């Protein structure tokens, strides 16, 4: 069993950085052999996870820092997202009921639909949160 770090990037919590993050995830997913359909879905999930951090964890504070790591763990892609914002209320992060039509709240639904596994929590060392998303690719 081998774990390969595909990339690690630190970036400020600015919406303008999302385009670059999507391009990086797309390129990397293609390199490890994901088909175009899966690649597009991984891009959507990671974009939504970053968007949630920018909007809800940092609440628009563009000085906040996000760390995104992508690993290949024996055919499973791991995406680990870390922020240093105040600990979020983990119970409030739920996919919303799609039966009621209302704007917002779709990001968590997208992530849960696309990924095989999602784990989130608070950083042990104090302020901050993590989200780990796992997708089997082989």
Partner 1 sequence: MNINTLEAEGYTIIGLEGDVDLSCSPDARKSILDVLQTNKNLLIDLGKVSYIDSSGIASLVEGYQTAKKQSLEFGLVGVSDAAMSVLKLARLDKVFPIHDSVEEYEKKDV
**Footprint of partner 1 on this chain (CB under 8 A)?**
14-16, 18-19, 22, 40, 43-44, 47-48, 51, 54-55, 98, 101-107, 109-110, 113-114
Closest approach, Cβ 126 to partner 1, in A, equals 27
Q: Output 3 or 98, the one with its CB closest to partner 1.
A: 98
- Residue with Cβ nearer partner 1 (113 or 117): 113
Of 4 and 30, CB closest to partner 1: 30
Tell me how far, at minimum, the Cβ of 124 lies from partner 1, in Å: 29
Per DSSP, which regions of 1-138 are E strands? Answer: 3-12, 65-73, 76-83, 117-122, 129-136
Rounded distance between C-alpha atoms, residue 83 and residue 126, angstroms: 11
- Reduced to 3 DSSP states, what percent helix, strand and coil does the chain have, rounded to the nearest 5? 35, 30, 35
CA atoms of 87 and 47, how far apart (whole Å) = 20
Least Å distance between CB 117 and partner 1? 18
With H, G, I as helix, E, B as strand and everything else as coil, classify residue 55.
helix
């Amino acid at each position: 069993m081998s774990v390969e770090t595909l990339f690690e990037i630190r970036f400020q919590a600015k919406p303008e950085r999302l385009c670059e993050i999507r391009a990086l995830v797309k390129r990397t997913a293609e390199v490890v052999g994901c088909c175009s359909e899966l690649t597009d879905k991984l891009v959507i999930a990671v974009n939504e996870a970053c968007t949630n951090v920018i909007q809800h964890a940092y609440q628009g504070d563009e000085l906040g820092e996000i760390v995104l790591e992508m690993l290949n763990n024996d055919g499973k892609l791991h995406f680990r997202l870390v922020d240093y914002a105040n600990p979020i209320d983990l119970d409030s992060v739920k996919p919303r009921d799609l039966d009621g039509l209302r704007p917002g709240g779709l990001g968590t639904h997208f992530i849960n639909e696309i990924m095989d596994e999602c784990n989130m929590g608070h950083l042990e060392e104090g302020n901050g949160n993590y989200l780990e998303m796992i997708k089997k690719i082989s």
